[in-house]
Amino acid sequence: MQFGIFAVSDITQDPTTGYTPSEAERIEASVKIAVKAEEVGLDVFAMGEHHNAPFFSSSPVTLLAHIAALTHRIILSTSTTLITTNDPVRIAEEYAMAQHLAKGRLDITLGRGNTVPVYPWFGKDIRQGLPLALENYNLLHRLWSEDVVDWEGTFRTPLQGFTSTPRPLDDVAPFVWHGSIRTPEIAEQAAYYGNGFFANNLFAPNGHFKPLVDFYRKRFAHYGHGTEEQAIVGLGGQAFIAHRSQDAFDAYRPYFNSAPVYDHSNSLEQWAEASPLSVGSPQQIIDKTLEFRDMFGDYQRQLWLMDHAGLPLGMVLDQLELLGSEVVPVLRKEMAARRSPGAAEAPTHESRVRAKYGDAEPRQPRPNANRGDNVTGTSPYQDSDPERPANYPVLL
């Protein structure tokens, strides 16, 4: 099982000091947090995508590629890549490039986001948000799995004889998680392709997302990818940790009180009791996370939000020390002891390469020679299927 953290890239005033960091400070802090996550033994660092203040992560792939150069082991992911307003061709190319730079340590979580104006900013209609998400991923899947794509849909210009470059590393695409909090069609699409389903597990009562996860498991099995317990599930959550429980509540309270994402008709203690928000000692965080497993069944990835609401960098780094030294090692043992023998392992690039090739060497695409017109003849790669030649458009 994979344990890690995710961020939403908010730039928020620290309510205890009144200080608001600059964009430059928050970007640099996020890099330090990712490096620290690897240092303390976490498996995943994920960053979201936003295109409005007070957020900075308009290009998570750029940030993750930079972090890849500073790390060696940790998997880098997005907590949301906007599949609705990004061109799937650009997603295919940019994330394949980042996958190469990260030596396979990269996957992607697709979502629709929660910022209404982002649709017209990118020339899209929010009323078409769900059809956009479904169609754009159908295209993205083909771009990563086929060397040459002919495609026509509703929301972008057609493609004729198009090859997305570079091809995914080892011809194995980044693993895809589909994130949703309410939409069964997204869970259906994740199940259809045998991809992962990620429920953010935030800002809702305990168990709120279980029906959607259960639906995904059933549909995963229906499409023949394995049993329901072999479905690939990820959960979010939020944690604030201190050696003593009361110290954790006292330290986090001002950040909770000032954060607009919480319904403040309930106290911090009520939120910690009734929702996936985990506040307290390391043992309390462990116990709460084990409750997730009891509620949702065996799952493959647990990510916590630990960097938001104005928490200063030093406090976040201290939180990661406790998470990595006192929480995650215990959870690894406890989760392994309770795990069903039939549950799927967490996906990695290495495991997916083995599943595709066995002991054989993975494919390394080598292009044919450029003819002088920026294309490479009837087939883009030396080992392409001769039964499916490229069909380039005729220039008149």
CA dist 71 → 35, 44, 67, 239, 288 (Å): 6, 11, 6, 24, 30
Phi-psi region of 18 (alpha: psi -120 to 50; beta: other; left: phi over 0): left
Q: Which token pair is 44?
A: 């995943």
Q: Which token pair is 338?
A: 């309770």
DSSP string, 142-201: HHHH-SSEEE--SSS--EEEE--SSPPGGG-PPPEEEE-SS-HHHHHHHHHHT-EEEE--
- 325/331 Cα distance (integer angstroms): 11
Per-domain residue ranges of the chain: 2-357
Q: Which token pair is 388?
A: 């499916």
What's the confidence (pLDDT) of residue 396?
A: 44
What's the confidence (pLDDT) of residue 263?
A: 81
What's the confidence (pLDDT) of residue 372?
A: 63
pTM, rounded to two decimals: 0.94
What's the confidence (pLDDT) of residue 381?
A: 87
Helix (H, G, I), strand (E, B) or coil at 122: coil
What's the confidence (pLDDT) of residue 202?
A: 82
DSSP string, 366-395: -BPPP-SSSS-TT-SBTT--TTS---PPPP
Dihedrals phi, psi of 188, to nearest 5 degrees: -65, -45
Instruction: Return the bridge partners of 233, or none.
Output: 197
Q: What is the CA 315 to chain-centroid distance, rounded?
A: 24
Strands (E), the chain: 2-7, 44-47, 75-78, 81-82, 108-111, 149-151, 159-162, 176-179, 196-199, 233-235, 238-241, 277-280, 301-305
Contact (Cβ atoms closer than 8 angstroms) between residue 315 and residue 269:
no
What lies within 8 Å, CB to CB, of 7 at 6+ separation is 30, 33, 46, 47, 48, 57, 79, 305, 307, 308
Question: 317: how many CB neighbours lie within 10 A of its CB?
Answer: 19
Tell the residue number behind the tokens 């993750």, with chain if given.
Answer: 64
- 85/36 Cα distance (integer angstroms): 32
- 396/394 Cα distance (integer angstroms): 6
For helices 23-39 and 313-322, the axis angle rounded to 10 degrees is: 10
- 132/389 Cα distance (integer angstroms): 29
What's the confidence (pLDDT) of residue 375?
A: 64
| Selection from 81, 71, 66, 78 nearest residue 107 by Cα | 78
Query: In the CATH hierarchy, which fold is given to the domain comprising 2-357?
Result: TIM Barrel (3.20.20)
Round the CA-based radius of gyration of the chain to a whole number and report it: 22
Q: Which token pair is 149?
A: 């794509």
- 86/391 Cα distance (integer angstroms): 26
Q: What is the DSSP letter of 346?
A: P
pLDDT in tens, the chain (396 residues): 999 999 999 999 999 999 999 999 999 999 999 999 999 999 999 999 999 899 999 999 999 999 999 999 999 999 999 999 999 999 999 999 999 999 999 999 999 977 788 889 999 999 999 999 999 999 999 999 999 999 999 999 999 989 999 999 999 999 999 999 889 999 999 999 999 999 987 888 888 999 999 999 999 999 999 999 999 999 999 999 999 999 999 999 999 999 888 888 889 999 999 999 999 999 999 999 999 999 999 999 999 999 999 999 999 999 999 999 999 999 999 999 999 999 999 999 999 999 999 999 999 999 887 766 656 556 788 887 655 555 555 444
Contact (Cβ atoms closer than 8 angstroms) between residue 5 and residue 304:
yes
User: What's the sign of the alpha-carbon dihedral 234, 235, 238, 239?
Assistant: negative
| Selection from 292, 290, 299, 291 nearest residue 345 by Cα | 299
What's the confidence (pLDDT) of residue 395?
A: 46
Contact (Cβ atoms closer than 8 angstroms) between residue 295 and residue 207:
yes
